Amino acid sequence: MAEYWYFNEAFAEEASSYFLERPEPVIVMDFTIGERDFVNAGNASSQIKMALKRLGVDHDILRRIAIASYEAEINETAHARGGEITGNIYPEFVVIKFYDKGPGMKDIEQSMVPGFSTADEQVREMGFGAGLGLPNIKKNVDVLHIDSEEGGRTLLEFMIFFRKKS
Amino acid sequence: MKLGEIVKALEADVLVGATAMEKEITCAFASDLISDILMCTKEPTLLLSGLTNPQIIRLSDMIELFGIVFVRGKKPSQEIVEMAKERDLPLITTQFTMYKTSGILFNLGLRSCKI
């Protein structure tokens, strides 16, 4: 089992206490993702974004949430056998979890390197597989946590605060 | 620059958005890579692309697009046209290549979007 953590220093303290306590969210949004379902892929991210927009989340923050969520949703569709997505909304931040059905990642650090991709021809033809998904997620989030092992399921979750870095 | 001027300059067909020709377009970005498009569009943007799968429309849920120009004669399916209609997202298609399309619009003064 391999784990990867990234924390944006500005929110590290608050974020750490969240991951220790895992409080109950105010709103929960659940979605099921089908393997290679490129027609509906992106729908979950789009709905989470719309819900947060209605709650008045800042435009730039919304964009970061949507991009990170969409990239992770595409990963679950293209690289895994589908899975689940849960959007947990809190007053100050959102935590979105992507729990796929495998086959897991061989080397998380390697997958974080821009340009590294295991995408096949079908996925590349659709404009994916540039090897920028995980780096793009990391760039847009305040916390990124990945838990994966080869042959098993992958959990990717990220946290984004609704206020800007001070 | 108005969308109508772009349609004219690219000798393009309008698939969605015939009533949006007065829409003011301030910048553009051209790519066939979804991650690049997501990473590089921080402001409302006209997207030039050769991709014609549903995900190109889905992108407009995540980032702000003025519309999409399909290059080198690509025509999206009816399903994609319907998805764009639901979102009021103008779609136009030109026979020109991505390079030529970009060059024409750049010469007309349409700037590159901030990346």
Q: Which residues have C-beta within 8 Å of that of residue A75, sequence separation ≥ 6?
A: A98, A100, A133, A134, A156
Radius of gyration of chain A (CA): 15
* Domains of chain A (ranges, CATH numbers): 2-21+34-161 (3.30.565.10)
Which pLDDT does position A165 carry in this prediction?
Answer: 66
Question: Measured between alpha carbons, how far is A138 from A4 in angstroms, rounded to an integer?
Answer: 11
* Structure confidence by residue, pLDDT tens digits, B21-51: 999 999 999 999 999 999 988 899 999 999 9
Q: Which residues have C-beta within 8 Å of that of residue B64, sequence separation ≥ 6?
A: B41, B43, B44, B45
Which pLDDT does position B3 carry in this prediction?
Answer: 98
Question: Measured between alpha carbons, how far is A59 from A69 in angstroms, rounded to an integer?
Answer: 15
Supply A157's token pair: 């979750």
Does the distance separating the beta carbons of A70 and B62 come in below 8 Å? yes
Largest Cα span, chain B: 34
* Structure confidence by residue, pLDDT tens digits, A107-164: 999 999 999 999 999 999 999 999 999 999 999 999 999 999 999 999 999 999 999 8
Does the beta carbon of B115 lie under 8 angstroms from any beta carbon of chain A? no
* Structure confidence by residue, pLDDT tens digits, A39-60: 899 999 999 999 999 999 999 9
Per the prediction, chain A carries an average pLDDT of 94
| Among A38, A66, A71, beta carbon nearest to B53 | A38
Kindly write down the DSSP assignment for every residue of chain B, as one continuous string: -BHHHHHHHTTPEEEE-GGGTT-B--EEEE-S-HHHHHHH--S-EEEEES--SHHHHHHHHHS-EEEEEE-TT----HHHHHHHHHTT--EEE-SS-HHHHHHHHHHTTPEEPP-
Which pLDDT does position B41 carry in this prediction?
Answer: 87
* Structure confidence by residue, pLDDT tens digits, B63-103: 999 999 999 999 999 999 999 999 999 999 999 999 999 99
pLDDT higher than threshold 70 for residue B108 = yes
Does the distance separating the beta carbons of B34 and A130 come in below 8 Å? yes
- Region B2-29: what's the mean pLDDT? 97
Which pLDDT does position B115 carry in this prediction?
Answer: 84
Supply B58's token pair: 């889905």
Q: Is the pTM of this model over 0.90?
A: yes
Which pLDDT does position B91 carry in this prediction?
Answer: 98
| Among A41, A66, A127, beta carbon nearest to B51 | A127
pLDDT higher than threshold 60 for residue A166 = no
Does the distance separating the beta carbons of B53 and A132 come in below 8 Å? no
Confidence of residue A1 (pLDDT cuts 50, 70, 90): low
Which pLDDT does position B59 carry in this prediction?
Answer: 95
Does the distance separating the beta carbons of B63 and A67 come in below 8 Å? yes
Does the beta carbon of B53 lie under 8 angstroms from any beta carbon of chain A? yes
